Amino acid sequence: MRTVPRRRSAIEVAAAVVHTGRIALAAVGAGRSTVRATIVALTVTALAFAGAVAVITTTVPAEAAALAAAVEDEGADCPVTLPGSLTANSRLPDPFKKLDGARITAKSDWRCRREEIKKLAERYVYGEKPAKPTSVTGTVSSTNITVNVSHTGRSSSFSASVQLPSGSGPFPAVVVLGGFGADTAAIRAAGAAVINYDPYAVGREGTPRNNKQGAFYTIYGATSSTGLLMAWSWGVSRIIDVIAQSGGSVLKADAMGVTGCSRFGKGAFVVGAFDQRIALTMPIESGSAGVPIFRGIPGEGAQSLSSAYGEQPWLGDAFGSFTGSPNTLPVDTHQMVAMVAPRGLFIMDNPHIVNLGPKSASVAALGGAEVYKALGAGENITYWSDIQNGSHCANRPEWSTPLQQNIQKYLLKTGNAPGAMRISSRAAGNLAEWRDWQTPTLTDGPSTPSPSAPPSPSASPSAPPSPSAPPSPSAPPSPSVSPPPTGAGCSATGTVQTQWATGYVIQPVTVTNNGTSTINGWTLTFTLPAGHAITGSWNATVTTSGQTVTARNVSFNGAIPPGGSVANFGYQVSRPNGNTQVPSGYTCAAS
């Protein structure tokens, strides 16, 4: 296996031995301030490069970037009653549906809905993450962080090394789990410090479930049902506690990121989901027990859930009941993606290794992105699997620019680059196949009052999206809108979101009901210029015959009220080099 081309610590070397052996056997170890900035625009648009399906969001002012929270769990005061029984559901659970059966209607509702998801994930997937212990003390220097924890008569300690970037601090920082994660040289070059965190000091691998070891289990007991991933998350939270108490002369507690690859990617994902003080979460190639939806893993052929559960006690003990029946889980990883919202999330994935479940991971990202969009923060999530190098946990040039942009936006707070969905055509999941729910338009007004609820993020009033995006590196920024030919009761327009020499993306195609009664389905037909070919589409069933394309609604976007519209269908096209034509219009038929 070709590993990260840089000098590695002892932790990295040890981890590399574990990973190398597993991959050689073709079984990759699946592997704030309190002020929230106003989000001024939301749209889901598309960016594409050859071989990739992409969705990106509008550029917004730098001040619109959502900041991290001031506390670990903003919804800790929300009452949650978990279900007494579970019902199988092959589709992804509705992230907007509360445990009482009602769907949330306001952005302020998300605080307590997120808490419900958190409790479900703890109960059935990861095990409980205890609240901050009675005493957390420690030190922060330019080279090291020490953490001392005491709780209910038990004590434990661990430490992490620090590498500062050039310049004068205090600095934002990225916690790198186990020496494997985003390129540490690039992180420091961007102006952030690196905190080298050894997860094994907090939760060791190679231990049985009834005798777990490490600083977490010294406090909470060797027979704790909490898995290693949540224990590792608890450890990072305690590091942030110490940084917050240190006075901020070296590191900034309100500008923290986390990253890791493979098993440490699983850990980074859980860290970001369960601590809202993390401003930027960057898991890489996390595999089974990481980002990929549990329901999709069996059909994709990724590392099985039973294998991931049995390989190491990464997941909580309770998950053992679901390894053969993930459809019974009342929660799935798209909701853990949503738990990060509206904070920065940059998921990096590898489409070349099926065992990592990249197709299921893309579905999780797309599903979680629906919550980001509903909260007015659709530009804060990136999923990127459009890469050429298939080596596990390698540094890749495709991730260099978005890595720098994410650090600038969420940690340095100097950037405003929008997020992107760069999904490789090799492993592109289809969210429409996995959901039977629609994304609501959430109001900015108050919902059920909560005495300690912080102000919720606000967004511009919901209106038809007005997509815009920076051009791709090799393409001129030349968006155009096709004329709106009408048909039987409906019309359609398409926006050229981005284009390059040999292709383009049209997103969204807006379908409008021109009649006086609701339509319950639509069919679009249009003609591609000679030599053009559809290479990807989303939120419609698309068929081609020669150059004629037919697109039909899917289950969640067929119903349109009089005068209403839907704007979530998009597609990607390849074309001969230099041919700048695009489809000139759409014929729409309503049913």
List, by residue number, the catalytic residues: 262, 392
What span, in angstroms and rounded, lies between the C-alpha atoms of 68 and 410? 8
286: closest CA among 203, 178, 160? 178
Task: Tell me the three state secondary structure of residue 156.
Answer: strand
What is the DSSP secondary structure assignment for residue 192, as one 8-state letter?
-
What are the residues facing 344 on neighbouring strands? 280
- For 319, the token pair is 């998950």
- Long-range interactions of 442-449: CB distance < 8 A, separation 24+: 442/104, 442/105, 442/106, 442/107, 442/109, 442/110, 442/374, 442/375, 443/105, 443/106, 443/107, 444/106, 444/107, 445/106, 445/108, 446/106, 446/108, 447/104, 447/105, 447/106, 447/108, 447/109, 448/109, 448/112
- For 207, the token pair is 């231990």
Do 393 and 180 meet the contact criterion of CB atoms below 8 Å apart? yes
- For 67, the token pair is 């900041």
Task: Tell me the three state secondary structure of residue 346.
Answer: strand
Do 420 and 47 meet the contact criterion of CB atoms below 8 Å apart? yes
Contacts of 418 (CB under 8 A, 6+ apart): 56, 57, 58, 59, 60, 379, 469, 470
What span, in angstroms and rounded, lies between the C-alpha atoms of 286 and 590? 43
Residue type, 82: L
Do 505 and 47 meet the contact criterion of CB atoms below 8 Å apart? yes
- For 254, the token pair is 């309100």
CB atoms within 10 A of CB 299: 9
Residue whose tokens read 């942009």: 405
Do 188 and 177 meet the contact criterion of CB atoms below 8 Å apart? no
Residue type, 400: S
**Residue ranges of E strands in 192-316:** 193-197, 251-261, 278-284
Q: Kind of pairing, strands 154-163 and 541-545?
A: unpaired
Residue type, 452: S
What is the DSSP secondary structure assignment for residue 356, as one 8-state letter?
G
Chain-centroid distance of CA 31 in Å reads: 18
